Amino acid sequence: MRILVIGGGAREHAIAWKISQSTRVQKVFVAPGNGGTEQEFENIPIAATDVASLADFAEAQAVELTVVGPEAPLVAGIADEFSQRRLPLVGPSRQAAQLEGSKVFAKDFMARNSIPTARYATMTSYAEGEKQLDADWKFPVVVKADGLAAGKGVFICSSEKEARAALDLICNQRKFGEAGNRVVMEEYLQGHETSYMVFTDGRSVVPIAASQDYKRALDMDQGPNTGGMGAISIPSLISEPLEQRVLAEIISPTLAAMESEGAPFQGVLYAGLMLTAEGPKVLEFNVRLGDPETEVVLLRFQSDLAQLLTCLINKSLRTVQAGWSRQCAVCVVIAAQGYPGDYQSGRIITGLEKSREMNNIKVFHAGTRRHHNQLLTAGGRVLTVAAASDTLEEAVGQVYEAIAVIHFDGMHYRSDIGARIKSK
Ligand code: AMP
Ligand code: GLY
């Protein structure tokens, strides 16, 4: 098979790595890819959002399966374009991608379909937001820009002052541009956060091992929200009865309602869950694999990814069962100075050869590029270092040992990924 993976992050590096292990895969293209995928696969210099050029490429190269990593091309309608041209692609239509593309759409969808989520209100201006604050909200409240903001448009506000500042940033300063045309304010949910993803052909699902993302920039969950600074996936994250509850109360009704509302969902449905005392509630939906969650779950994936995705496209997912190892997987993101704000690029990265020789370590590239035989930083999240082992403690130790030999100016990472968690 000839495969095209769209995107240029560590998630896409991991997808290409896993899919290339299938005996039926001969060729993997990554568009646009990064300095890591360039060495192992073939990078194609087409931006992930250049939908027409990607479809032209897939057609010309007789690509048999396209996998979309990031949300932006899905929200822009890449699945619709590929479907019109009869090109097989894993990912939802533009309409179904609204589950991630618009928080207002997702909240209204959940409300009308009784899918458990936080109480919320929607507003379209700073003045409306201020009025909401006069109503009966308990602090903290969560203020969210409606549209895509790479995980950065969400503010947990512990006082009215902080809530006004978040509203000001979104509505007046237009920090997130069009994504801030509408704002969601919602009640703060308490509990453990879990990323729960499934492969789905619209009706059947193949559950993906549960994982947990570390969203805040700094240790002890301090600092601003990021796209994700690390993740773990361990067998004990979610119990069997709780998983059944998530499938019955959240995943199945969501898929059924998407179909009955005329937007059947195909691809990966990702529910960001808060496991509250009252049961699992949805914090957000994503319409694709998580990053960095993918880097840990694929370390535990023991089946043939190309075959699974082919069945997904052919709507025969009910015939597939995926195997997941009982191992504990962890990954840590190394970011550039300044991330998640403005960051520096072009710093020389050293030590990767040495880390590659280390026991059990997988380094996935994100914002990297090669220039005159040197590897340079070229993004906010630069590398994801991952390992899976029999215990979480062992995997964590291996990852941090590998990070210790990697260097670039200004690099920063969290030192507490996988800490304070019991793996058994
Ligand atoms: P979102 O992009 O909506 O998932 O929000 C990003 C992060 O903010 C989530 O992963 C949570 O850590 C946090 N968050 C969002 N909504 C809530 C909420 N209602 N209660 C508590 N934390 C939240
Ligand atoms: N790590 C969270 C996400 O992929 O949205």
Q: What are the pLDDT digits (tens) for 266-275? A: 999 999 999 9
328-403 has which CATH code? 3.90.600.10
Q: Which fold has domain 125-181?
A: Dna Ligase; domain 1 (3.30.1490)
Q: What per-residue confidence (pLDDT) applies to 171?
A: 87
As annotated, the residues of the chain forming the CATH 3.30.470.20 domain(s) are: 192-319
Q: How confident is the model at residue 423 (pLDDT cuts 50, 70, 90)?
A: low
310 CA to centre of ligand 1 in angstroms: 33
State which of 144, 283, 284 you would mutate to test the pocket of ligand 1, scoring each by most atoms of that ligand within 8 A of its C-beta: 283
Class at the top of the CATH hierarchy for domain 192-319: alpha beta
pLDDT digits (tens, 9 = 90+) for 271-311: 999 999 999 999 999 999 999 999 999 999 999 999 999 99
Q: What per-residue confidence (pLDDT) applies to 21?
A: 97
The listed CATH number (3.40.50.20, 3.40.309.10, 1.10.760.10, 3.10.200.10) that belongs to domain 2-93:
3.40.50.20
As annotated, the residues of the chain forming the CATH 3.40.50.20 domain(s) are: 2-93
154 CA to centre of ligand 1 in angstroms: 7
Q: What per-residue confidence (pLDDT) applies to 151?
A: 65
Task: Output the residue whose Cα is nearest ligand 2's atom 3.
Answer: 290
Torsion of CA 9, 378, 71, 20, to 10 degrees: -20
The overall average pLDDT reported for the chain is: 95
Who's near 225: CB < 8 A, 6+ residues apart?
A: 151, 152, 154, 215, 216, 217, 340
Q: Does position 424 have pLDDT exceeding 70, yes or no?
A: no
Q: What number is the average pLDDT over the span 72-86? A: 97
Q: What number is the average pLDDT over the span 214-243? A: 93
Structure tokens that stand for 239 in this block = 């119990």
Task: Output the residue whose Cα is nearest ligand 2's atom 2.
Answer: 290
**Kind of pairing, strands 212-213 and 192-200?**
unpaired
pLDDT digits (tens, 9 = 90+) for 331-347: 999 999 999 999 999 99
Q: What per-residue confidence (pLDDT) applies to 369?
A: 97
Nearest-angstrom CA–CA distance, 264 and 203: 9
R_g of the chain computed on alpha carbons: 21
pLDDT digits (tens, 9 = 90+) for 146-196: 888 766 788 899 999 999 999 998 888 888 888 888 899 999 999 999 999
Q: Does position 416 have pLDDT exceeding 60, yes or no?
A: yes
**Which ligand 2 atom is at minimum distance from the Cα of 289?**
4
Number of Cβ atoms within 10 Å of the Cβ of 418:
26
Nearest-angstrom CA–CA distance, 275 and 201: 26
pLDDT digits (tens, 9 = 90+) for 37-77: 999 999 999 999 999 999 999 999 999 999 999 999 999 99
Q: How confident is the model at residue 254 (pLDDT cuts 50, 70, 90)?
A: very high
User: Is 271 a pocket residue for ligand 1 (Cβ < 6 Å)?
Assistant: no
User: Is 154 a pocket residue for ligand 1 (Cβ < 6 Å)?
Assistant: yes
Query: Is 102:147 a contact under the CB 8 Å cutoff?
Result: yes
DSSP E strands in 177-302: the ranges are: 183-187, 192-200, 205-207, 212-213, 216-218, 222-225, 230-233, 267-276, 279-286
